[in-house]
Amino acid sequence: MSEKAISLPLSLDAYGKILSTNEQTKIWADRVLSVLGTLSSERVMDAQFGTPIPSYAFENIEKAEALIPGEVSKAFSKWLPSLTLQDTIVLFDNQAGQVLVEVIYQLPNDEVRNTVIALAAISGDQLPYQESL
């Protein structure tokens, strides 16, 4: 029997039923996004879950670039031990104001996949969602 999980982002079908998936690549990608995109202490009932990576969007480029790969490695060891981390690439999109983290990993079935996490960065004195007047 194959594993089944709630499909993220959470969606409902026309009858109000929560959509799920049994596609292993989707399940693992959702887990990677969940772990790396959750700030440590963000979850009240599991404050240890997650990483400090979301807060690195507010650091300078050099510091974020130096810290993120180590945090990804720790997260894979602690929260995703069934996956084999192969590489972490940190990119900065100054025009979009984003820190992009590409994680390349091997699934338990030996398939190699990648997932990209985008973190919004604050530049100057405006928040990413603030309109200019």
Give dist(CA 101, CA 72) in Å, integer. Answer: 9
Domains of the chain: 5-10+17-120 (3.10.450.40)
Tens digits of per-residue pLDDT, 81-94? Answer: 999 999 999 988 77
- Model-level pTM greater than 0.85? no
C-alpha distances out from residue 67 to 45, 53, 107, 123, Å: 26, 8, 24, 19
Rg of the Cα trace of the chain?
Answer: 17
Question: 53-110 pLDDT, tens per residue?
Answer: 988 877 778 888 899 999 999 999 999 999 999 999 998 877 777 888 999 999 999 9
